[in-house]
A and B are shown apart, each in its own frame.
Chain A
Amino acid sequence: MADKKHRVNLRDRGAEYWERSPKWRRVAMAIFFIAICYALPFLNNPLINTPGSDFQSVLFYPVGMYVLMAIGLNIVVGKSGLLDLGYVAFFAIGAYTMAILGTKTSLNFWEIMPIGVGLAMLSGVLLGTPTLRLRGDYLAIVTLGFGEIVRIFAVNTDAIGGARGIAGIPTPPDIFKAKFTILDPKPYYWVLLTFTLLIIWMVRRMAARRPGRAWDAIRQDDDVAQLMGINTRKYKVWAFVLGAAVAGVGGVIYASQILSIVPDQFNLNISILILACVVFGGIGNVWGVILGAVLLAFTPERIRFLSQPRILVFGIALVVMMNLRPDGILPKKKREHFDPDWHTVEESGEGQIK
């Protein structure tokens, strides 16, 4: 009995501890946590070792990549309630940008990154503007279609490699003696981690302010949100575009690591996998989403027999999660107290408004 209550309030307890901590403790915890993340590739513990594949490589893909993408998709699905089933398309656009520009021009990784992100964002606008006013289920199907069309287009367009894809993608240039090669995933992991932390920071800022409130309102009641003065269309497109940007970042980094890409890598299953991470982690909740992504990406690598039927397990997990724990394993805060950072509470009912 006591255990069950413990679990349910895990996030709340963590959040409470955080809020009660003075600033120095918060900063220390954050630095500690971030340091651990950067040090992860050096961990060599039989408990977390992944049989069959290199732990450091797994950290980069799928763990790190899923985490990044799940954070991106969370803005769209989790915060705004827009069911995007074609998220992999933006990932593909980032990857293909890196592949094409990397092999056909002399631009390097860092120069290509903003272009890849920009193109992903542009496709987000192009796809989102006409379709985001559709109802939820229709939006899902249309985005699903978009994801598939991007793939089919890539398969059938020889100019960008056709079904055989593109090979010979250049690695990023060295940074202070750290070489990016296919043999060593560590520098890639650190680059990915840095982008991820930056994006988490940005997302949290937005979520706590006007955009986050607008997305919350849109998710809960689009019609009323409009009547409360929110330009729902603008914010929905923004959510879409930001999600696309994050996927674009992932795609560029991915292509520069794996050095050759084929269209069939960017299929529906990936969209579903990322969606599963978002759902599993608790829709809307960044930390839950990260935990969900880590679990879902890491477990099949750790437990090899789960690896083959991985997607089957994910599918079942989706159904089970929705039916038993629709709020995810770390549900959103249900705290009922008043945040001490704001004004002190004074009982009155006779206040004046100006």
Chain B
Amino acid sequence: MSENVLELNNITMKFGGVTALNEVNLVVKKGEILALIGPNGAGKTTVFNVITGVYKPTSGDVLFQGKSIVGKKRYKITKLGIARTFQNIRLFGESSALENVVTGADVHSKSGVVGSIFGTPRSRREEKAALDRALELLDFMGIKKRAGQLGKNLPYGDQRRLEIARALATNPKLLLLDEPAAGFNPAEKVALGDTIKRIRDAGYTVLLIEHDMSLIMGVSDRVVVLDFGTKIADGTTKEVQNDPRVIEAYLGAPADAS
């Protein structure tokens, strides 16, 4: 039980007449990089939304570190240790890169409005700690020089890196990356893959949505495949690569068509 950072048990998500997720079961083990793949519209981002509390599942349970988090408020889920990036970049564009990351780092500060007005020692300590951590993370993602620039003015690649830095600032136990390599050229993808591995090596667990197969195969420990809201495969990259159902889902024809 303590092996699994996250468990999705029979998650079904219906919107009106549409079933976006159908009895999806998956498990994320501590310290692994799990890839969630599938054709467009398979429900991958919906899974993220269910995990982070944006949607309440129609049925089923989400266990984070053994405890159910269904129905919890979103910010509480983040406090518990789940952070994410977004398919369409959603930075705080009017704020600087540094401010974006510090906002994430604020999660674990205890002081609030009153502390900031009176400048209590604790609030000053936490402010410095948040700033330090933010700078560290910007450095880690290779965008320290962008610290003072406004989020919306950053080049595309750096925006994606900033989103990851911001998510890491919340000190998550589980990091959800939603197509972090979208729009990257091959060299950048390789660099991103290395970064993801470094993130894992630093002690984070990663759940990754991606389309680029070589990135996935190079980085992930295990892969879960969704199609039309149903899980159709779950295993190591090798196992999934050769699974005929997966091939069919992507190519639309049986592997051994006569």
The answer to whether any beta carbons of A and B sit under 8 Å apart in the complex is yes
Cβ A216 vs Cβ B148 within 8 A = no
**A 242-284 contacts with B by CB, 8 A:** 242
Pick the contact of B150: A210, A334, A343 (CB < 8 A). Answer: A334
- Is A345 an interface residue, CB under 8 A from the partner? yes
- Is B221 an interface residue, CB under 8 A from the partner? no
CB-CB under 8 A from B170, the residues of chain A are 228-229
Task: Report A313-354 CB contacts with B as 1/0, cut-off 8 Å.
Answer: 000000000000000000010111111001101111101111
- Is A209 an interface residue, CB under 8 A from the partner? yes
CB-CB under 8 A from A354, the residues of chain B are 136, 202
- Is B156 an interface residue, CB under 8 A from the partner? no
Which of A83-91, A105-113, A121-129, A230-238 contacts the other chain? Answer: A230-238
Cβ B116 vs Cβ A211 within 8 A = yes
B: contact size bracket? 35 or more
Cβ A206 vs Cβ B113 within 8 A = yes
CA distance A129 to B127 in the complex (A): 28
Pick the contact of B136: A211, A225, A334, A353 (CB < 8 A). Answer: A353
CB-CB under 8 A from B98, the residues of chain A are 342
- Is B217 an interface residue, CB under 8 A from the partner? no
CA distance A335 to B136 in the complex (A): 22
The smallest C-beta distance from B131 to any residue of chain A, in angstroms, reads: 7
Pick the contact of B139: A228, A334, A351 (CB < 8 A). Answer: A351
CA distance A353 to B104 in the complex (A): 15
Cβ B127 vs Cβ A210 within 8 A = yes
Task: Report B102-134 CB contacts with A as 1/0, cut-off 8 Å.
Answer: 111011010111011101000100110011100
- Is B231 an interface residue, CB under 8 A from the partner? no
**B 167-188 contacts with A by CB, 8 A:** 167-168, 170
- Which are the 9 A-B pairs with shortest beta-carbon distances? A349-B142, A229-B107, A229-B78, A351-B139, A338-B148, A209-B116, A226-B74, A220-B92, A213-B103
Residues of B in contact with A (beta carbons under 8 Å apart): 52, 54, 73-75, 78-79, 83-84, 86, 90, 92-95, 98-99, 102-104, 106-107, 109, 111-113, 115-117, 119, 123, 126-127, 130-132, 135-137, 139-142, 144-145, 147-150, 153, 166-168, 170, 202
Q: Could you list 13 further interchain pairs (A-B, Cβ under 8 angstroms) beyond the known A210-B130, A224-B86, A228-B104?
A: A206-B113, A210-B116, A216-B94, A226-B73, A226-B75, A228-B167, A229-B75, A229-B79, A229-B107, A235-B113, A338-B147, A351-B136, A353-B137
